[in-house]
Chains A and B, each alone.
Chain A
Amino acid sequence: MKRLIVLSVTVFMSFGSTVSYAAKCKWQTDTVSYSTGEPVRWTRWVRNRMILRPPYAAISGISEGERKYFGLQVIGVDQKVTTRPTKEELDAAFIIPAGSTLSILMADDSIYELVVTKEIIGDADFTAHGANSYTINAFAIIKFPLDVDAIAALTTQRASDMRLHANGKDYDFSFGKKPVDKIQKAIGCIQ
């Protein structure tokens, strides 16, 4: 009997939490794929922090048909150069190879890792500051596939930090001093 009550409460709580997330879900994209006809939904991008010090990240929960993804947008990957950047340099400014990882520091200090499954070539442009001074600005959107285990791991507790490891570099994005439920909310919306 006790088990039944615990089970009922757990199910009720999890249902309640999904409903409360769903009720607050805002969509960046809520449409149908032009190629497959499947429903496509991206939750509205939420920035890791509101501090404007690049690079920074924004996250989104993505569903395409039955497939689920965690969307990470990395913005403001700047590079100072002294010669006018070529198109080849712009194309190479921010590449995230397949196999790159996103480590997410969870509230219990465990680390959950997501893996980039195909190479991403970020968009880049440049700003001229005068003779011999240019800034290359790059950004990229990465979609990490989520299986049932990943969804469970990322929705059961809050997260405090993310680290993208790509091309031998670490890009750190903190959510703040305390763990927050931004990832939980984003993924909760696409469940």
Chain B
Amino acid sequence: MRNFFLALFTGSMMFAVQFAYAAGCKYETQSVDPVTNEKYKQTKWDKVATMFSGGDSIGSISAIAKGDERYVAVKIGVIDYFPFPDDLRAQAVATMDEDTLEDYEKMGPVQRYQAEIEQLEGPPENQDYRDFLDFLLGESLIIPVGSTLRLTLDDNSTVVFSTTERVRERANYTQPYKEKKMKGVGGFFASVASAALDAETGSETVVSPDYMVDGYISIRYLLDAEALDLLSRAAITSLRVEARDKYYTLGTRSTQYETVRWSKKSNLKIQNALKCVE
């Protein structure tokens, strides 16, 4: 009899724990494929690093269940800067007529940028400039197949996963010295930008001497059974996403303790997200 009550108590506790996880789960998407009947579930994006906490990049994590497959997904807020290419600037000046050139030579550096851009925009539009803008819009946020996600665990070991698909997001760009309002993206902390908080909207006005690219990119990494088991019990202290031409580290470098780490609360976010798609 005693054993029966013990079993009942244990069972109800386990159920309560499961229920507590399920109750705490919030989903970005829950759907069923009408043709294959495959279930798809993605947890709400959960922020693990923000520029406000001194990190290098901002980003969120999520877990995905697609049929029997499980993924860990990472979304990074990207702010990047590309200088106005010298050869384009030279082309702009070389194609100015005499009057425009005379005015141009009297201008300050900021006005010169604007005059050069106007010259390249045409008509006729400069093809090299068009290619440069196409690069900023469509080629700057790319994660090639095989790019890695490196997770650092709280035992200081690391695990690495790779993407199985190419990800390409369309970015926004802002011309040099043009004001850009960015809400919650953390442009205030961008090193080359000057920014001012807009009291009415809570957004930040960012001005950069370079072409500024901003956007979000979401990447998912397939987990095999072993990886799923590990991440379901491991605490994660930071992650690094490999992009086409750079790395994004999500974590905060504490000036006191030096290592790039998430807060203790954030350490369990991947584990908890995966529990929501069990």
- Residues of chain A touching chain B, judged by Cβ–Cβ distance below 8 Å, are 28-29, 31-35, 40, 42, 44-45, 47, 58, 73, 75, 84-87, 90, 123-132, 141
Contacts and interface: CB of A to CB of B under 8 A. Distances in A.
Interface of B: 56, 80-84, 86, 153-157, 191-192, 209-210, 230, 233-235, 240, 242, 244-247, 249, 257-259
Given A29-B155, A45-B257, 10 more contacts: A33-B155, A84-B82, A84-B83, A87-B247, A90-B246, A125-B247, A129-B192, A130-B83, A130-B210, A131-B84
B259 A129 contact: no
Contacts of A125: 56, 246-247, 249
Contacts of B86: 131-132
B249 A123 contact: yes
A35 B155 CA distance: 9
Contacts of B210: 128, 130-131
Nearest to B255: A52
A87 B209 contact: no
22 contacts: A28-B259, A29-B156, A31-B154, A31-B155, A34-B155, A34-B230, A34-B233, A42-B156, A44-B257, A45-B259, A47-B258, A73-B258, A73-B259, A84-B82, A84-B245, A87-B246, A123-B249, A125-B249, A128-B81, A130-B83, A130-B210, A131-B84
Contacts of B235: 31
B191 A87 contact: no
Contacts of A45: 257-259
A58 B249 contact: no
> Interface majority SS on B: helix, strand, loop or mixed?
loop
A128 to B, nearest CB: 4
A90 B246 CA distance: 8
Contacts of A44: 257
Nearest to A73: B258
Of B81, B82, B244, most buried by chain A (CB within 10 Å of CB) is B81
A46 to B, nearest CB: 9
Contact of B247 (A84, A123, A128): A123
A67 B85 CA distance: 53
A29 B83 contact: no
Nearest to A62: B156
B156 A127 contact: no
B247 A130 contact: no
A90 B157 contact: no
Nearest to B259: A45
B83 A132 contact: yes
B83 A90 contact: no
Contacts of B244: 87
Contacts of B234: 34
A32 B155 contact: yes
Contacts of A127: 191-192
A123 to B, nearest CB: 7
A75 B255 CA distance: 11
Contacts of B192: 127-130
A128 B82 CA distance: 8
Of A47, A58, A124, A128, most buried by chain B (CB within 10 Å of CB) is A128
B6 to A, nearest CB: 28
A123 B240 contact: yes
6 cross-chain pairs, A with B, having the tightest CB-CB distances, nearest first = A131-B83, A58-B258, A128-B81, A40-B155, A45-B258, A33-B155
A130 B113 CA distance: 14
Contact of B245 (A31, A34, A86): A86
Contacts of A132: 83, 86
A186 B129 CA distance: 57
